[in-house]
Structure 1
Amino acid sequence: MSGVGRGVPDTGMVIAAQRGNPHALDDLVADSLPLVYNIVGRALRGHVDVDDVVQETLVRVVRHLSDLRDPEAFRPWLVAITIRQIRNWEQHRRTALIRDAGVEAIHEVPDPAADFAEVTILRLGLTDQRREVAEATRWLDSDDQELLALWWLEETGELDRADLAAALGLSASHAAVRIHRMKEQIQTARTVVRALRGRPGCNDLRVMTSGWNGTPTPLWRKRLARHVRDCLVCGRYREDFLPIDRLLAGLPLLPLPASFGDQAAAAVAAHAGAATPHAAAATPPVDPAGSGASWTPDPSAVDHSGWLGHLFAGSAGKVMVAAATVATLVTGALVVTKVTGSPPSSAAPPAAEASVAPLEVTPSATPSPLPPTPKATPTAKPSSKAPAVGPAVSSAKKGVAVWDFNGASQALANSKASWYYNWNTGHPGITTPSGVQFVPMIRDPKSVTAAELTRAKAAGPYLLTFNEPDLAEQANMTPEAALDLWPQLVATGATLGSPAVAWGGADAGGWLDRFMSGAKARNLRVDFIALHWYGGDFNTTNAVNQLKQYLTAVYNRYKVPIWLTEFALMNFVNGGQRFPSQEQQAAFVTASAKMLASLSFVQRYAWFGLPATDKDQSGLFRTGTEATAVGRAFQAAG
């Protein structure tokens, strides 16, 4: 399968992290951790050293991030570094075994709580043939374990074949041959797994395994497979196999264990650091994915007061906010909840200095025009409570528009949204849950002040801009006025979204078209398009198709990634609003989320909105814990 990189950061985040934005660096590491953990865990088969290898990999990534010349190549670069660290670990382990042959058992004992096949089965809730595939991986030859780690992620959609081949240093054709051979081994092992679990089972098989200790090995795979192939009783277990790629397609990344990093925190704090920027500049960088000598952190070379400091420290279960220095990594055990679901789009925003893409005139879709949509402005004081902790987010694209209400913080945590915004540069009264990102907004011309711009810059790598400038009740400004103020927004260094028009984003000569043409003429940067859409047709199929047509038309005109920052079903008639039933709205949430996940140029979307009131009947939560039917559909959406 061709992967889409569901758990990997977009290019804009990489660029912001390279430029020294600490929030972007935090997010970059947090978003990379699940992928690294899944590769290392499966390759090492849950060995007790998984924590150490993951930590050393991330230290290496941060240390050499500035050396990455093509931010769009971050994913294969990350995977290559991970494979290099796995191979370094294997080399060190073999050396230790030769030196300490008498204590071989100590080195070979796996962590019984981290058997990756069993953890995969339990945490992903695998049943039937998917469970058989996971169990069959225990029987592979040891040389195939790192290939398995990458191939599993290819089949589940996290990597593509080019990433896999590059990480292993193979051509695509050579990688294909190795994968074919490994899949044959897994298929053979599936027959063994079935035969051993069969009831009433085969008497000859029971006799054959009477002296076996139960540990899967390649040797026993070959012996048992030979018996299954020749045995009339066991032969029936070789039938009715579903293809492996169909069984693994769409599975999420394996969630991080709740205690991940606890045991290794003290050790890493003692040695996992990097030189300060000054020292790094004086030392030629080493290619972290190269083929040179293996790398091992040198405790004597670590400057813990410098820019990296301690990678893992403190309690597990959250990624703490980093210190405001150029490359402080993540203070916390890096156990985050952003581990499953759909990816950020592979269509990443352009580099910060890039000009707007050439404009192309194409037929525009015609969404229902939007009259004003009032938004509440939070006025409550900032909460002093600890961050709300909710279930793991289910999609890196999925977000929600939020304003303060009783229980807003808990509702946000329970929503499984990965990001949110509230039409402001701060979020007073709303506590950001662990693993969720707040995105600031410069809402209107009056918000373009030094204080607001400073607050927006500090809030994170992305910045939303003028809200519905084409409506008098909202930002109410001309494209020329927005362009005059735009250089001040560019100066924040953030990844910038266009003003979010209420309607007509694909129309030639419309508000957005005039703004984008003006940005191109003035050589002003616009990194992604922000759009709003409200559907007046409550038929699910029609509504989803209309939304898809609109988004596609806008993308075809500007060729810039899209954030859909407000959307729902809502029919504006005679100056009022008519809403669908809860069941209709919920059906639209489910179907539109699948559609949006399939559009590579849609990087993020945000439902309107979190609170459910008599006025805002598309809302997700009535209280912090009471979800509407729409809210339950949103929670389940991927």
Structure 2
Amino acid sequence: MPKKPRSGPDSGVVTAACAGDRQALDHLVTQCLPLVYNIVGRALNGHADVDDVVQETLLRMVRGLPKLRDPAAFRSWLVAITIRQVRDREQLRAADRDRRAHLEDAEAITDPALDFAGLTILRLGLTEQRREVAEATRWLDPDDQELLSLWWLEETGELERADLAGALGLSDRHASVRVQRMKKQMEVSRVVVRALVAAPRCAELDETAAAWDGTPSALWRKRFARHIRGCGVCEGMDEGLLPMDRLLSGLPLVAVPPGLDPARVLNAVTGHGGSAAPAEHAAAPSRSARRRHGRRSGRTGKQVVGGSAAVAVAMVAALVAPRLTGGSSSTAAAASPSASQAPAVSAAPSPTPSPSASPSASPSPTPKAKPSPSPSKHTAAAPAHIASGAKKGVGVWSFGGVSQALAASGASWYYTWSTQHSGVTTPSSGSFVPMIWGASSVTDASLAQARSYGPYLLGFNEPDMAQQSNMTVEQALELWPKLMGAGKILGSPAVAYGGDTAGGWLDRFMSGAQAKGYRVDFITLHWYGGDFRTPQAVEQMKSYLAAVYERYHKPIWLTEYALIDFSQGTRFPSAQQQANFVTASTKALDGLPYVQRYAWFGLGADPSKPSSGLFTDGTTTTAAGRAFQSAG
């Protein structure tokens, strides 16, 4: 199949940019940004350093332009600079790992929540075999990841073989040999991906995977492949596999995140005056430097992300929260689904939603009775256009018109406290995220269901609450490898409260997971506010999330939140207060780069009772519902 012609800048634009033409330089950066982002993102597999490497690459490009002898060779020259920056960053990470491997917040470990293969899958909406190819990239050796980043772009028509070979410092012949070897490893990885998601999965393969932590690696690729080659059950997994070049031909680049504005990138790398700025002024601090600055400065939301150039913040926000497809602990109230609510959406053993909370004034809350969600009734037709923020989600249980309400809400994702969404139709613009609710949900059937839905999996629901999954830290850690075995980007157990508390349930779980080498890709939290004044409530929520991020330095999903006061029984704000909080909180959450997603509690509302719900039926919204529709 013929490849599309590449769409790089012409020599005239490059020549003008070399001569100092600011308009030409603007155009050049705009055209180069997608290519650089795709090479770096795939080579580093979506590591949090991608933003720094992209910015440093563009800085070096702008500073080196006056010395470029042949404008026609610009693309090959840029690709070589990009690969050199990737290698330099990998060397620094390796040295840093050797020096600081004992530190709790070592930067050298790739965060699977930022996985570039996951971005590829979600952004491009790949067909099944293309999805398998994208997932298989996670199993390659680091050197092959770098080569793949170039070959992938060659196959999609963005690079030529001379560009690839030149970037690697190889002859065309040697580059071809390297490519063929990498492609063979990819074919093996595709078969491994198929075998691991097969339903039912081979029992002997399950035994082989018993010690696997769920993180793809070259070592485990070899182990799984060795089993597959000699297994009568797994043989034939390669049947029907289409050649990779046929699958990739014609695919567009992974879209650059909207927050990565070329004009802001150019200002960051050149300075506002239009000429190249010295490196010490133009480059934003590295992520690790920003992190150290945040710890010295204190534990507020602004300080955690402070100290970086605006473009770096935008890059981090875009990578941590891909558009596709963070008060103190003493002020944070908690909530979650309870058995007092209507029947669960799923037949799986997970109670249905209803806040089970803790008094916001007490650091050691006593659980109170939980109400059914239900604010006062307000009728309004769904707006003609509903803004749908990439982070914005909602907790969903079954009620009349639930699917219609979900589609009208504008939520880009939802969950049901279960591994299935029986009776709920996923809207075309949204996605479903499964959850393993508690110990009784850790079954082969539930895990198989979880594997069939997207790249994410939510862990146990409020294990620190007797009315919820009610698990000890030891029990959760014992079962955790089974959740890792699902091969998903995995969220921590969602504690009801005290996520930032040293020695609390979550802190003990995370310490135990680290000691055992278990994988936790992002932190899942709940927050309920008892202060109904909007500015104060938003600041308390942000302070809590910032403190949790400061402790663990992982992306955060806020999967239940609303204004409900549990300090003396259960008290709701007025409908307008709840709506005001929806508007202000969603804006705040969208602006926190370490908050990857959030979900309002919840979609359904009983018109006869006060609650935090959004819809009383398929078309009737509450004040909070209308605010939610307009948010994001």
User: TM-score by structure 1 length?
Assistant: 0.49
Q: Larger Cα Rg: Structure 1 or Structure 2?
A: 1
